[in-house]
Every structure is written in structure tokens, then in C-alpha cells.
Structure 1
Amino acid sequence: MEGDKLYSKQTDDFPVLQTERLLLREIQNEDALDILEYLSDEDVMKYYGMEPFQSLEDVLEEVAWYKSIRMKQTGIRWGITLKENGKVLGSCGFLNWDKRHYRTEIGYELHKNYWGKGLASEALRAVVQYGFEHMRLERIQALIEPPNLSSQSLLEKHGFLCEGLLRSYEFTCGKMDDLYMYSLIKKDFNDRRAQTND
């Protein structure tokens, strides 16, 4: 789906993105039980930079953070839902949005039961397209732990390039982590789309 066919807006101007199988929408407090299901999973949280969530209070704090970055215009996070049932099975979105430099970071996670079905790829494609077409972004970057091969593969599939290793870049879960810096710039995104449309 291209351009304005990709999304519509809710009453509060939150953009709703649609793909073949997914509806990406604003996350609400009412989604907390669905979210706890995957954010409490050690496998899902392995490279998240946080310990697995223990309670609904943990989830509600995360939802409040989603709302705060939207309000401050430093990011936006979509809940990934299946069109068929509306259940939130992950999230994808932008953080550390720097309007002055037209760049942002992208992050995502998905319920383990839905791994390997192409859903993360479908969500990522829609979010990246929205970022370049409607947020005036010139660069989208991602910070990935070296052992997280599946995330590296996902990004590379969508044209992201690994620019290098940031050594001891982040302190999370009691340790210093090295992180790969991946990026996709608007020119490369447009060139890839032009090639696929030829």
C-alpha cells in the first residue's frame, strides 16, 4: 500500500497504519493484559534492554511512556494487531526523534507465538514508509546487540546498512552492551522502491 492508502487517522490524530494482515494503532491501557503476555517473556525481552515485566503496573508505565513521547513529539509507538481479532501482539515505532536533523531511531518487539510469520517485517515496512513519507525523516537508525541475529536480518531485508560497532555503548540489565548501528536513509529507501516498481 502506498502513500495515503497506508494510513487513516483516529479522532486524536494518531495515525493508524494498515497492511495486508495488520492494523497498527495507538496502544491503550485496556491493552495491558495482551502486552504483559509478551513483555513478561524472557525470550522476547532478551535484547530489549530491560528485565522481563512482572506486573500490569510495569506495563501501564510503558504505555504512559508511549503516550509521553507522542505528546512531546520525540517519538511514536504503534501497537501491532491482527485485523482479524484486534489483539496487541507487539509494538513498533520511533524514539529519540530529532526534528532538527530529520532522524530517529526505530524499535520493535513481537509476541513469541508470532515469530517466523513475516509479521514483524510487515509492521516495520509500514512504519518506515510512514516515517519517510509523513514525518519528513531523512534517516532512520536502529541499535542492535550483536547476538541478535534475527533483528539484524530483518533490518538488512529492508535495506538498512550496518555502519559499525559502538563499543560499551549502553548500560542495561547490569552490564555494558556493544551495539551495532544500522541505518536507512530516505534516498536509499526511495531507490529501493523505484527498483521494485520497475
Structure 2
Amino acid sequence: MSFPSFETERLYLREITEQDAEDFYHVMSLDEVTHYYGMDSLSSKGQAEQIIASFKSTYARQIGMRWAIILKESQTFIGTIGYNNLSQWNKRSEVGYELHPHYWNKGYTSEALNTLIEYAFDGLGLFRLAAVTFPENAASVHLLINQGFKKEGVLRGYIFQNNQSHDALLFSLLRPEWQKERSLQWTISQN
């Protein structure tokens, strides 16, 4: 099965490859990006190459998928988005994302996430999408709620970063909830 690519109004979503290592490193070496990511900032391009290799491995084992987020107008790599802990047997996955700070608050993550939600439910036939985020990450919490995710609770001591354990919030979106919202939006647009 070939890796699916998507085109949105302003973005291309395509498989992240070794050729993206330098750009990926520039995003993931920024403390403001990794502050709420659950890992320390990268300190070398080699680390970025290892992570990209792990993305390839998780895709080959069908337990994850990661897309490069590319700006259409400039062909600029601005971040990644993907599925973690993908279990097609259980019809569920988690979604994760990060974006270079220059592109924050412009709706790019929302645009990419919208596409991945649709692909998860319509393309992969999943029933549940989850997301885990730091409680202090207000932008991510806001994004998830705006996309229809519901807060399920707190995962105590769930993320280990900077030599300490941190609580995380767990959010989820179920296919029937998403279908109902999509149907409602379609009805409103027709009136």
C-alpha cells in the first residue's frame, strides 16, 4: 500500500522522508515547539534522521503514519502531523502534530487535522481518535475542542520530559459524533 497524500486549500500533506531531516530538525530543535511535546529538543540532524526512520518503521508495521505539512504557495516544510498507536484491529488511533512557531495561529494545524480526522473515519474506518496534550498547552486544547474532541480526563504522570513526570489531558472523538457534526454542517450550508 502506498503512503496516502492529501491536498487541502493551503497545504500538501505527504509522507515525511529522509530529505526532510534538515527541516524536521529545525522545527524539533526549538524549545518552544518541544515544550509541550513530551520529548526534549533535538540537538542534531542525526536525531531527526532516526525519528524519520522510526516513522517509516511504524508505517511498515501499520502502527502509525506521519505526514510532512507543506505550504502550497512556497513548498515550505512547516511541521508534521500523524497517527500514533494506530490499531486498525481495535479501530482506534491517537493523533499528534507540531508546527514551526512562525506558522502558529494561522489555522494550518486545524486544516491538516481536519483532513486526518476525515481520513481516519472515512478512509481507515476507525471508530475512535484520541489526543494527549499537556494541560498547560492552551492552543492544543483549544484546537482539539474546536475539532469536536471531548475531554475524557487526566492521565496522571503520563509524560516524562525534562527529568520529571507530567500529567496529560486525554481527548477523544468518535466517528458517530464526527458524522453527526459533519451532517449538521452540511445541512446548515444547504440552507
TM range, smaller chain: over 0.9
- How many residues align? The count is 187
SS at match of 1:48: coil
Is 1:185 the equivalent of 2:157? no
Q: Which runs of 5+ in 2 are unaligned?
A: none
Residue number among 43, 53, 57 corresponding to 1:64 in the alignment? 53
TM-score (norm 2): 0.95
Identity in percent: 38
Is 1:98 the equivalent of 2:92? no
Kindly report which structure 2 residues correspond to 1:48-127, keeping only aligned pairs within 5 A, or say none.
Answer: 48-127=37-116
1:168 CA displacement: 1.4
Q: Which runs of 5+ in 1 are unaligned?
A: 1-11
TM-superposition CA deviations, 1:162-190 (whole Å, max 9, x none): 01111112323311111111000000000
TM-score (norm 1): 0.92
1:16 CA displacement: 0.4
Q: What is the alpha-carbon distance in structure 1 between the residues aligned to residue 19 and residue 133 of structure 2?
A: 30
Q: What is the alpha-carbon distance in structure 2 between the residues aligned to residue 138 and residue 37 of structure 1?
A: 35
Q: What is the alpha-carbon distance in structure 2 between the residues aligned to residue 45 and residue 34 of structure 1?
A: 15
Letter of the 2:11 partner, please give it. Answer: L
TM-superposition CA deviations, 1:45-99 (whole Å, max 9, x none): 1011111111110110111011111000001011000112222110001011122
Provide the residue aligned with 1:131 in structure 2: 120
TM-superposition CA deviations, 1:98-136 (whole Å, max 9, x none): 222111110000000000110010011011111111111
1:36 CA displacement: 1.4
Letter of the 1:82 partner, please give it. Answer: L
